[in-house]
Amino acid sequence: MTDIVFTSDEEVEAFQPEDKSIDIIGYVECIEGLKTLKTASGHVLKFVVHNASKSRIRVLVWGTALATHYEQSIKINSIVEITGGNLKTANTHFRLPNDKTSTLEFNVQSHSLLTVHGQYDSSDHRVVNETYELIELDDVMLFNGNIGVNNTKEACDGEEDQVIVLIILRF
């Protein structure tokens, strides 16, 4: 595999709402999944592409055929190149207060091309550890903000306990 150059922070910062025919290259940091819609689109697939620096952008694939097709191709840490997308300002109703993704969303079009260039090895990059207050599950509704819920399980295989991070928002 040849060296892949991810879209730079400067390029992402220069993106404007309604830009047409935009290309991005990065790795899939998280997959929000395939969601069934009550509209003619049928489904939307959402995932976040990271450039291994500061920039993250949410990618939306609209329409059942495209969404289910690309769902099969992308995995966490897949290096993706997406050409021919459009940018739109993200709907603030669907953004969390601490969302670290761009305020713009990359919309894959029927003429767009998504190419997977293998897997990204994140072992060379620093991982930022965030700490959260651990609480009992019974107390979840008493908190507002970032918390960790201790999900202790009796493990016979030596696995460590898991901490599930929740963001509790009350409106």
pLDDT given for residue 99 in this prediction: 74
The CATH number given to 9-124 is 2.40.50.140
Do the beta carbons of residue 136 and residue 46 sit within 8 Å? no
**Amino acid letter for position 3:** D
Distance (Å, whole) CA 147 – CA 140: 8
- Segment 44-57 shows an average pLDDT of 93
Q: Output the CA torsion sign for 157, 75, 36, 105.
A: positive
Distance (Å, whole) CA 30 – CA 8: 19
Report angle CA 52, 54, 73 to the nearest 5 degrees. 45
Q: Which of 50, 115, 58 is nearest to 84 (CA)?
A: 115
Q: Sort residue 135 into left (φ over 0), alpha (ψ -120 to 50) or beta.
A: beta
SS3 10: helix
**Amino acid letter for position 171:** F
Distance (Å, whole) CA 151 – CA 107: 36
Residue partners of 153: CB distance under 8 A and separation at least 6: 159, 161, 162
Per-residue pLDDT of 75-118, as tens digits, reads: 989 999 999 999 999 887 777 767 778 889 999 988 999 999 98
Domain boundaries, the chain: 9-124, 133-168
pLDDT given for residue 135 in this prediction: 60
Percentage of the chain modeled with pLDDT above 90: 39
pLDDT given for residue 158 in this prediction: 40
Joined tokens for residue 6 = 């991810």
pLDDT given for residue 4 in this prediction: 86
Mean confidence (pLDDT) of the chain: 78
Q: Answer whether residue 1 shows pLDDT above 80.
A: no
Considering only residues 99 and 159, tell me which one the structure prediction assigns the higher pLDDT. Answer: 99
Percentage of the chain modeled with pLDDT above 70: 69
Q: Which residues pair with 105 in a beta bridge?
A: 58, 88
